[in-house]
Amino acid sequence: MSPIRGRDLATIAEYAVDLTLVDLAGNDVLMPTEFDDLSERAHRNNQNLPPEAIKHRQILEKAMIKHGFIPMKTEWWHFDFKGYQNKPNLDIPFDSLKNKKAEK
């Protein structure tokens, strides 16, 4: 039995991200559900939500797709990087990441 059975391969390989939106003050905006709510309310095709939550979900999805991520159908907050299956596993400490634009 595979040690990763039942887990998301993109997450294990470090090519996935879970995120939400915040306003300019850093406050969470209304989204379809709380983070890690695995009910059908979190599915991307769920339209039984306040219009504001649907709008925010669409904003997040559009931005992530534009930058090369694939949305998970059952979790509005989860995105896998496109082509992660052909990439090496990463083990990079978060603190070691630097913004190259900021260094210039």
pLDDT for 53-99, tens place per residue? 999 999 999 999 999 999 999 999 999 888 766 766 666 776 776 66
Q: Strand, coil or helix: what is 58?
A: helix
Q: Strand, coil or helix: what is 18?
A: strand
Choose the weakest-confidence range: 3-12, 29-38, 77-86, 94-103: 3-12
User: DSSP label at 22?
Assistant: B
Q: For residue 77, give the nearest of 48, 43, 45, 40 by alpha carbon.
A: 43
> Phi, psi (5° rounding) for residue 60?
-65, -45
CATH, range 9-103:
3.30.1380.10
Please state the pTM of the whole predicted model: 0.71
